[in-house]
Amino acid sequence: MDDKQLIEDWFLKYQKYITTYLVYYTGKKDVEDLVQECFLKAYQKLHLFHWDSDPKTWLISIARNLAIDLSRKRKIISFLPIMTDHPSPLPNTEETVIHKDEILIVEKAIKSLSRTYRDVLILKGIMDFSSKETATILNCSENRVNVTFHRGIEKLKRQLRKDGDGYVQQK
């Protein structure tokens, strides 16, 4: 299998993880351009990949850096919308039992947290990654992930209390 075939294979296996991560991290549904860029970057930097590690965590750290890079660029040029070559439909959302309003409130609350908490809550909380996998992606210790996760949950609760009152009353 050559490098190109390998990246195609990874794309088919892991695009759902990258898409989920980017949707929550950027707070936008239109992320396919970033997903594509993530795999292209992986192709260009394949020589840096440690073959004993998990491609999924490596790809997510690439996606994370691209998203950080993009947000930095946006700060410079105020706003550069991500355009695709075709009108872009939203990514598929898997069936879920959670109420739509609740999803919006949680998304908003996560987006309002700092990057450190947002990362850990998305990876460990939503995507169900282990502390070890999360630590690999974020390039920090497992202990730090656990502490940040715990604090992140506290902050999220506080934020949900603030944002969610209206929702609770409606319910």
Partner 1 sequence: MSNKNDFDVLKTLEKMPKHKLNQHRERDVLKQLNTKMMKVERWKRWKNTTLHITTIVGAAAILFFFIYPILTEPSFDSSLSELHPLEHFDGKLTPTFHLYDEDGSLLFEDGVRGIEGKIGYRDIGDNFVAEDERTGGKMFWYVWGDPNELRGEKLVATATHVGTEESFLLNEVELSLGIYEADAHALTSFAPFPYEGIWKIDIEIGTLEYGQITIYVKSPYPQSESITYLISEEDIIVGETLSFKANINKVIGEPSLEAVLIENNTREEKHITFEHNVDFVGESMYEADVHFEKEGEWKIHLLGETTSFKVSERSYSLD
- Report the interface residues with partner 1, using CB under 8 A: 3-4, 7-8, 11-12, 15-16, 19-20, 23-24, 29, 32-33, 35-36, 39-41, 43-45, 48, 58, 61-62, 65, 68-69, 73, 76-77, 80, 83-89, 91-94, 96-98, 102-103, 105-107, 121, 125-128, 139, 153, 156-157, 160-161, 164-165, 167-168, 171
**Half-sphere CA count of 61, side-chain side, radius 13 A:** 16
* Least gap, CB of 163 to partner 1 (angstroms): 8
3-state DSSP of 129-154: CCHHHHHHHHCCCHHHHHHHHHHHHH
- Backbone phi, then psi, for 56, in 5-degree steps? -60, -45
* Least gap, CB of 126 to partner 1 (angstroms): 5
Q: What's the start-to-end Cα distance of the chain, in Å?
A: 54
At residue 53, the 3 state secondary structure works out as coil
* Least gap, CB of 52 to partner 1 (angstroms): 15
* Least gap, CB of 54 to partner 1 (angstroms): 14
- CA atoms of 21 and 16, how far apart (whole Å): 8
